[in-house]
Structure 1
Amino acid sequence: MARSEDCGLTNCGPVDCGLAGLDLLAGLAAPLWLARPDGRVVWLNEAARALLDMAPGAAARTVHLLCPDETIQALTGALTAGRRIDRTLTFQHGRAAAPLEIDARIASAPHSDPPLLLIEGTADRVARQEVLRLTEQLVALTYAFPDLRFELRLDGTILDFAASSPSDLNIPAERFLNGRVQDVLPEPAAGLVMAALDSLRAGETVAGADFTLPDPESGVEGDAAFEVRLVALMDGQRAVCSVRNVTARARAEHAARQAHALLLDAIDSVTEGFVLYDAQDRLVVCNQRYRDLFIGDPDLAQPGTSFESVLREGARRGLYRVPPEGLEAWIQERLALHRTGGPPAEVQLRDGRWLRIEERRTSGGGTVGVRTDITDLKQRTLELATARDLAESANQRKSDYVHHLSHELRTPLTAVLGFAEILRDQLMGPPDNPRYREAAGQIVTAGDYMLELINNLLDLARIEAGRMELYEEPCNLSLLVDATAAMMAERAARGSVSLNWDVPPELPCLFGDPSLIRQMLTNLIGNAVKFTPAGGRIAVEAALESDGGLTLSVRDTGRGMATDKIPLALAAFCQAHDRMTVPEHGSGLGLPLTCALMSLHGGRLSIDSAPGEGTCVRLLFPAARVGVDEAA
């Protein structure tokens, strides 16, 4: 019969061993040993090897029972009778490893020669060994973390502590032994920990606090930051407290907050409106300029609000000056610009301001938008366009002036030259022919017309150039009207037109340029005479207005004109009447010149007229020019 050198078991092959085969025993979860009476271990399974922390391939003979020989022999004798014994045994693996003490159940190995002890580690002992192993690991981990950890009762008594750097709190380690947390920790840490213990006594399971202490190196108050966390243990009488030095983190967070605040301040200092939307198109941040310029309603610019919500809500509130029928199409265009980017867009707000909108996509899928108030730029553009139009209009007026002037001068000048040739060449016979006198009169009439035309044109040009000066003085309006009307009476009589004037002498004086006032009145009476048929009437009147101003009016019963013709009458060289139907024509400068002279006096000219009902032209002087005497 074969015999194993190590175990001494007969028939101990891998299948037919008397113990049902060592291979089967090797796979059991319970640790098993086979030992000789002298204490030498001849075999052990994998669970026992793990418990002894043996290296793979280590021989069983390196393990011994640390028991006296007589004890083992006594056990062997007891087991021969078929009894099982529970004892605490100690194993030694090699010389360097620590002895392992286990609770074991001991029986006699069957069919063994010489007799062997079958030792089985009991489950509770194995569990205790595992708890011990885990406890050792936990202790190792405790020292691996930079926290000060200690166990204490809920009244503050410190039971145990572990610290990698107790100097962080500037407290000697020995003070933690048999001390009380309220006596060991400095303030405010002690008070905060005691308050946390009160919370645990009230039934909470976790409590914590943060505090700062002077840095032991710099000595600056609040320079070192700590974080305290307390966890109640299951017995309800103790707690585990950890104190972690989080100065580096606190400083980093403080620096991050400062950098964030600096960035926000920089964004708020930008003169344009700035806004950032994330990849989900939700508002992340915007500056105050954005709220002031673009939103108008601050509650719209809330972080987390989608761009489309902001846009549609603003449209619903009438923020944008967009026609209602085109609002939806405009919204779709804005959404497309926002999501894809593109050239800047311009939009007008309800208060009349204009914004330039520029949007760009970020690498992370977000959108950066800039809103610039271009109201001033738009206004300047409009002013430039208006100035351009005025310049073009002025240039056109000058061209019209030249055209009309050449036309108006050509006719009388032709008459002057023609009649002068008749006189020079005595085409009508001897000089005593009375028809020569008539020709001379035609020359004088044409000359007067040309002189009046040129004078009016020069006056109008000086006014437009700002070179017309007023020689102002208090004027007696009654005397001024009497003199002007008397001068025009002969011309009215030649046209069989009645000219009447009624200006109360008690009217206050009018402060202005008397020669220009006479010129304006002469132009108005001359026009009335020209366009009033024989038998008509012309009345010149003056009256005070309720606002203190003074009105000088010329009313006739002439042809009149339609309302839409009045602007033509006030334009230089324009005629409100058809030249083919009106026997007398003017230069078209009388009313425009009068209107310009009234503007120099701070007043205005108004016309009321209707076809067949005559015309009333009023010169309205402001109250500031009424009743001003020489002393003023």
Structure 2
Amino acid sequence: MPDPTTPPPEVGALIAALDHTDIGISVFDRDLALVYCNKRFIELFEYPAEFATPGTPLDSFLQFEGGRSAYGPRDDQMQAREWIHPARRPVAQRVEVTRANGTQVELVRRPLPDGGVVTTYREHARASPDLVVPSISFEGLMLALDYVTDGFHVWDVDDRLVYANARVQKLNQAAGTPLRLGMTFEEHVRDRVAAGQVPDALADPEAYVAHRVELHRLGGRSLTTRTPGGRWVLIRDHRLPDGGTITSSQDVTELKRVEQAYRDSEQRFHDFVNASSDRFWETDANQRFTMVVDTKVARRFPPVSQLIGKTRWEVIGRDPEDDAHLAAHKAALEAHQPFRDFRYEVPAPDGSTRFWRVSGVPVFDEAGTFTGYRGTSSDETEFSQELARARRELQEALRQAEVANRAKSLFLATVSHELRTPLNAIIGFSDLMVNRVFGPLGNRHYEGYVQDIQVSGQHLLSLIEDVLDLSRIEMGQIRLRLGRVDLRSEAQSAVAMVKARRGQQVAEILVDIPDQFPPLSADARLIRQILINLVSNAAKFTTADGHIRVAAEVDGDGVAISVADDGIGIDPADHGKVLRPFEQADNRLTRRYEGVGLGLPLTKAFVEVHGGALSLDSAVGKGTTITIRLPRERIAGPEEGLQAAAADR
């Protein structure tokens, strides 16, 4: 007669299978006495081996836990009852707890029809003591495994299926590959491949079947495979002592997702590193390199081997105390300050120089003690060489432009001189004829022609004089002939000259300069030309019924001279243009007026020769005000003269 305490062969195989899982299992009856537990349960909670004996009361477990304070600072027995063995609760429950030793355990409890409870325990860590295998009824053990979330197959020594838990049966039924007791492992694999449940087998089904059967035969192997729905499953084969095999399957989709996210993050960081800097480095509290990583394939100088254990000053080969740039950086490091884009040069053995740019942040430990720096370095040698080459090319282009400009100025000066000589003769002879020095011309039409010749000649001579002045300015040949200049008198002369040239078609011009205005220490010819140019310009672009005002005042900065009109004005976008030689504001109104665009540029140059500045305030339809500011040293005479002028204003 068989021993009633000895489990049948099927139960023995199943018990052996459960002792090879990573999940702890316990079954307590309605009286809170142990019915069954596997090895993992005893290992997980480090219970004495005798606790695995069926019939061990729950209180023994609780008292043991209470004696070692395994569940935190609260009342140990109460804590244990709450989250490990609430066997009297008739409802299913899932709890995730942290033990006092820091391990995390997931508990899944389900009530049994007879009033007992089956609980599974899963954690990250493992232990492997040898424990005693208990006895359990075949029906109770199968019921317990049906509540496990992982899948289990048990194969006998002939590799035929003797058991599959509910989880596996449900999944295979849904996939169209129902399990049959007695089927071989190879038949099971072929069923799943034929049903398209193994995406990895699509390329070569027979090769996959052979490979999978071989892994199963060897035992102790594991593989991760993908389901048609995109889930990931970890499959493990464990050899049993009797020659059979247990196959477990665990859904690791979430773990795969986390792993992929980690790989993506790592790759992203790696890409950022490769795109950002050539080196990453770390120094100790004494500023000596302890770690240097090259991120680029190209060999850099100095090589990593020459950096470890050295300070940056030793690598550069210069004492920071002898270089203000290095000294300032060293002071920042000693003050433990972060720094960015510090640039320095490193001489190479071949006589060349490498240019580096570094940035770093100080590092402190948990106690706040400075431990060194971490940072990045970029080799800017190629960039620096390109920049130097571009600078040389720019300097050469500027030199050539200056040569061309001087040649142009020399040409203008030469041509102007050549034109002025015969032009003076034309003007002189026409003047004799206009004044009838040698008698009447004989025909009244000739008199009009002669006057036209004289006016045109004067205009052409004025243009030539402007070109000569421009060439002198560009060649740096303008020299001031300083003298005492009566600004009010010069302004009145300029106004009279402009009125004489333009006849009756001229706006009202007011000279608003006091009689006692202090004389200027300036070049009289240039001041006169400045005033003529400004008044002439204002009269040219102001209608006959308009108004022009010439004013001057003394303030704390020196002398301010202004010419304001209410003429057509200048678009602000053209302000810079009208101050450049041979350029004019590009609008339909200005095209009606004579001139080649030299008046304002020459005026600006004459003002700057005196150490002053010219400013323009104008808008279309609102007139124009041009202000000239001369420094205080351009005021001649005693200080009281200046004060009197200011008081008169």
TMscore range, shorter length: 0.3 to 0.5
- Which TM-score applies when normalising by structure 1? 0.39
- Of structures 1 and 2, the larger Rg is shown by 1
- Which TM-score applies when normalising by structure 2? 0.38
- Name which structure has the greater RCO, CA cutoff 8 Å, separation 6+: 2
